[in-house]
A and B are shown apart, each in its own frame.
Chain A
Amino acid sequence: MHGQRLQIGYAGRTFENVENTSSNTPVIEFRDVAYVLPNGRELLGGLNLRVRRGETVVLLGRSGSGKTTSLKLINRLLSPSAGQVFVNSVDNGATDVIQLRRGIGYVIQEAGLFPHYSIEKNIGLVPKLKGWREDRIKQRVQEMLQLVGLESDIASRFPHQLSGGQRQRVGVARALAADPEILLMDEPFGALDALTRDQLQREFRALQQRLNKTVVFVTHDLREALRLGSRIALMEAGKLRLVVTPEEFMKSSDPLASAYVQAFVGDESISVGSIKDASIKDRGVQ
């Protein structure tokens, strides 16, 4: 009923009939969404974006680019100042926010595990809210622990007893426990050391291939975006600049995108080249 919509950034491709229940139906859709602070500062302007089922869309950008704001608009932690956000074709402002959030997995950088709950209780939180039976919850917790690569006896421990990496795994397990369709992740590996981050990224990628959830992932790290995203949405100063596949991103002529690539490639050569080369590159690269 909304007819054809031109999607900016999709290189001219258009979509017919939003109500179509094919795999092309967007699970998440932003329509002319803006978010303005009470003091008038615009964090997000004119956002139009669709996320299809099974995709991992990475919101890439610097701090202040509006990427976290966009993420929070999906599970209605923030309400848009203009426009609408649709989840499964339903305006998420017109629906029960609590049920909406319980159907979306949410992982944040600090993990935010409840310190006074055991790992088991933390992971089982949403299932419990949904009224699952105790034994089913218990079983699910064990499944989740296995899924994220943690020992089953961790279930009885408490967050302060775990390492940062372990806590993040628990965070992911918790987000997946009630088997949500959608997963929102806000720089989940940002606070971890490089080795752990690398490992978790690889594990997450494998996980995503198995589970095929619809994921919106926020990061400022191109490497992470390239690794995990099926599409990268580049954001800057509250505006969406482009939404392309990783390959297209690397070849993009957009100045901001190519700046990111430059910075990224500069890094890469240091790691793979000889030490002599690297020192030359160091002085040569801007």
Chain B
Amino acid sequence: MNLFHFLSQNYDQVVELTLEHLWLVGISTLLAVLIGVPLGILSARHPLWNRPVLGSANLIQTVPSLALFGFLLPVPWLGERADRIAILALTLYALLPVIRNTYTGIRGVDPAVVEAGRGMGLTDRQLLMQVELPLALNVIFSGIRVAVVVSVGLATIAAAIGAGGLGEFIFRGLAMVNNQLILAGAIPAALLALGADFGLGWLEKSLRPR
């Protein structure tokens, strides 16, 4: 049975695992944005925070993903369910690109614009919401794009601890020495990553300020 035949036979499973994969990526990216963007803004505005914030995010990146999953296993509440571990780990890994790009984006806003804005009487919050964030948006977005693409790959490994997703096909296929199963997981995962990269890249371009 060739791959295409296999995929159409097991269509339900492929769809289910793909959706599980998207869920893992989506939730963790969302959390990374909710946590990372404010942290990026904080470190852009108060340079003293820059080192600890970026430093911590960098530190997390150096931990191998499988090891991070393993560390989190004995943690109460978290360790009881594999998808909680996976989402936490994915969120942590997505933080660095989001924080770093938010920082760069906001610092990259033309200082003359910021000065003019401040001089005209915009409050700090208005300056952030009306000027800095809109102008930094496409840089922030490219950070989100990196986070998503990285997450898609990382979520594949999360299947090793039972979190589901397309990686499950891969691991099962490895155990059974079944190439079709392996490809049934690997190819959709790769397509997902490519699609996300492409789609978000297009979106990023359209958000670019004139």
Contact = CB atoms under 8 A, between A and B. Distances in A.
The answer to whether any beta carbons of A and B sit under 8 Å apart in the complex is: yes
B134 A102 contact: no
B140 to A, nearest CB: 14
Nearest to A177: B120
B210 A116 contact: yes
A203 interface: no
| Majority secondary structure of chain B interface residues (helix, strand, loop or mixed) | helix
B113 A113 contact: yes
B115 A115 contact: no
Interface string A118-144: 000000011001000000000000000
Given A114-B131, A158-B210, A160-B210, A101 B121 contact: yes
B113 A115 contact: yes
A77 B114 CA distance: 12
Interface size grouping (class) on chain A = 20 to 34
Contact of A115 (B114, B119, B209): B209
A175 B126 CA distance: 18
Given A115-B135, A115-B209, A116-B210, A102 B112 contact: no
A112 B210 contact: no
Interface in A14-42: none
B118 A125 contact: no
Nearest to A97: B121
Interface residues of B, number: 19
B123 interface: yes
Residue among A75, A101, A103 with most chain B CB within 10 A: A101
A113 B117 CA distance: 9
Interface of A: 75, 77, 98-104, 106, 108-116, 125-126, 129, 158, 160, 171, 174-175, 184
Interface of B: 110, 112-123, 126, 131, 134-135, 209-210
30 contacts: A75-B119, A98-B121, A99-B121, A100-B121, A102-B120, A102-B121, A104-B119, A106-B119, A106-B120, A108-B112, A108-B116, A109-B112, A111-B112, A111-B116, A112-B113, A112-B115, A112-B116, A112-B117, A113-B113, A114-B131, A115-B110, A115-B113, A115-B210, A116-B134, A129-B120, A129-B122, A158-B210, A174-B120, A175-B120, A184-B119
